[in-house]
Each structure stands twice: as C-alpha cells, then as structure tokens.
Structure 1
Amino acid sequence: MPCDVMLIAYDGSDHAKRAIEYAGRFLAANRAVVLTAWEPMVRQAARMSGLSGVMQPDWVPDEDIDDIAYTDARNINEEGLQLAKAAGLNAEPRTAECSSTIWNTIVDAADELDVDVIVAGTRGSTGIRALLHSSVADAVIKHCHRPVFLVPPVTEKAPQSR
C-alpha cells in the first residue's frame, strides 16, 4: 500500500538523480513532492563576503527581475519533476527559499506537508572529508522525526576474486 506523501530533496546532482530512480523502484506514494531549496543571491553574496572578510556593499535587487538563484532552482526542480514522473511517481514541483540551512528547509517542508517519508541522495563521504563537509542528509536524519530513505552514491565494484 502506498504512503500518502513522499518528499524528494532534489538539487540536480547525480546523487539526487539516483535517489529519484530508487524511489521510483522501491517506494510508492499517492503524491511525490520534488523539493528544490534555494538561497537568494543577495544572501549568498553576503555570506561569501563575510567569509572572505570583505565588506558587502548595500545592494537591493530589482524587484521586477527574478533572482538568478530562483530561476536556477525552478529549472533544476523541473528536471527533477520530469525524472520523478519518468520513474513512475505521481510527482509535483516545489521550490523553497532557504532562510537558514538547506537541511532546515527540507525538514520544514516535510513538516508543513506532513510527509510520510523523505527521499535524498548522499555523497557517501567518509573520514576527514565527512568531518570537513557536513552532509545535508546527515542533518536531515538528525533533526527530522520522519523516516528518511537515503540512496548512497555509486561505487566502483572491486574485482571479484575467483
């Protein structure tokens, strides 16, 4: 029996594409919401200038022009939507503006939609790389009290011994 609502975190990466493929293979849902989180360029620029120690000039975007980050997010989300439909899922699009972190945006959307499961791909980082680059998927698991279906990255198979 299918679950009611599935949330698929989609950022356009190969890991996210693989997660959609496996969700279509192993999960069933009445609705599959493909979520792409995005951060406005103004905040990205401010964050980056803060990291570099450079003063960020006052800049207000033209309200008549879409933020390029939002335009990219819509395009990425459309790609994810088409992949989900091709995987046999009853998919619908959704973009969400990040006000803090990507994982928090995913958790908030899952709560708002009252989803039964969250689907995400992982980079599969281990060791020092995992310590230096926190994983969105790890943070979702730690902060969300819903089932999470994680799809690991493709690994090269070791030669089989005979």
Structure 2
Amino acid sequence: MFNKILCAVDGSEHSMRAVEKAAALALKFEGELIFLTVAKAVKMNEGLRRFMEVEHVSGQDAQYVLDSFSQEVLNEAKEIAKKVGVENIKTEVKVGPPARSIVEFADKNKVDAIVMGSRGHGDLESLLLGSVSHKVASLSKVTCVTVR
C-alpha cells in the first residue's frame, strides 16, 4: 500500500513525532522511507548584508550553517527510523517555499504518502499564512498524514 513514504522534517517536536509515525508505516509496509527537509530561501536585503559584513559572515559560512542544521535534523530522523528497524532510508535537502517544495518532490519521486508534523518551527508564520501541513494536504495528490 505505502511502498514509498515521504516524511518532511524541520527539527520541531511535531516533525520528530512524524518521524516515528513514518518509520512505523515504513516498517509495517516494508517500504522506502525518504526524509526531506526544506530550507526557505532568504532574500538578501541591505540590513542583512551589512550585518554579515560587520560580523564577518560570508555567504559560504551562512550556507554552511544551513547545511549543517539540515544534516543534523536528517541524521536524527534517520537514527530514529533505524532504531525502529527501518533499513531502506534516504535523505534529501531542498531550498524553496516549503509546501510547494514538498509536493513537487512527492510528485517527482512518486511517493505513496506524505507524513509531517502539524506544526513546525514557523508557528507565527503559520498563524498568518496557514500551516505548511495544511497547504501540502491541499496541494498533494497522495495520502497525507499530519501528526500532532
């Protein structure tokens, strides 16, 4: 039924609960489990550029921090899934609008289900614009499981 499961993670408490549910599904159906984290692209405005100059932060340093955080989140998710017994695990990092990036990845990779937390790190933004999980459920053509 669920041969390929996509689990979107951002390191939040809800997303780590989603990791546990996705791992349980992957184990039950002996499916492939893909962990995806999406970093929002940051627009470089004058204030941010000046801050980076004053603090001597290069674009490469900022990218390194982003990559390190993404890998840390994915490694934690992978370890949780391995402890449960899931063997077929892949990880992926994308940059862009989270909901659209998740749905596009799911379509391109022909996943059977998307599992994600009901709330992520962008809680204030969620209140103003609607949650990423709600947008994914609205846009996706596959089963979506939202974990609280």
Structure 1: runs of 5+ lacking an equivalent: 153-162
Report what 1:7 is aligned to.
Answer: 6
CA distance in 1 between counterparts of 2:37 and 2:88 reads: 13
Which of 101, 114, 118 lines up with 1:105 in the alignment?
Answer: 101
Letter in 2 for 1:119: V
Unaligned runs of 5+ in 2: none
CA–CA separation in structure 2 for the residues paired with 1:91 and 1:136: 26
Once the two structures are superposed, residues 43-96 of structure 1 have per-residue CA deviations (whole angstroms, 9 ceiling, x without a partner) of 4262xx48xxx4746987349x95210121011111111112223333423222
How far apart, in 1, do the equivalents of 2:69 and 2:48 lie?
A: 26
Given that 1:84 and 1:91 are in contact with CA atoms closer than 8 Å, whether structure 2 keeps it comes out as: no
Higher relative contact order (CA 8 A, sep 6+): 2
What is the percentage of aligned positions where both structures have the same residue?
24
Contact residue 85 and residue 91 of structure 1 kept, 8 A: no
Q: Which has the larger radius of gyration?
A: 1
Cα gap change, 1:110/1:88 in structure 2, threshold over 3 Å: closer, same or farther?
same
Q: Secondary structure at the match of 2:142?
A: coil
Return the letter of the residue paired with 2:6: L
Residue 34 to residue 19, structure 1, CA distance change in 2 (3 Å): same
TM normalised by structure 2 equals 0.75
Indicate whether 1:115 and 2:114 are aligned: no
Residues 1-162 of structure 1 mapped to structure 2, 5 A cutoff: 2-26=1-25, 28-39=29-40, 43-44=41-42, 46=44, 49=45, 54=47, 56=49, 61-62=59-60, 67-99=64-96, 101-123=97-119, 131-132=127-128, 134-152=130-148
**Which structure shows the higher helix fraction?**
2
Cα pair 2:23 2:33 within 8 Å, conserved: no
Letter of the aligned partner of 2:31 in structure 1? N
Does structure 1 conserve the Cα–Cα contact (< 8 Å) formed by 2:38 and 2:93? yes
CA RMSD across the alignment? 3.1
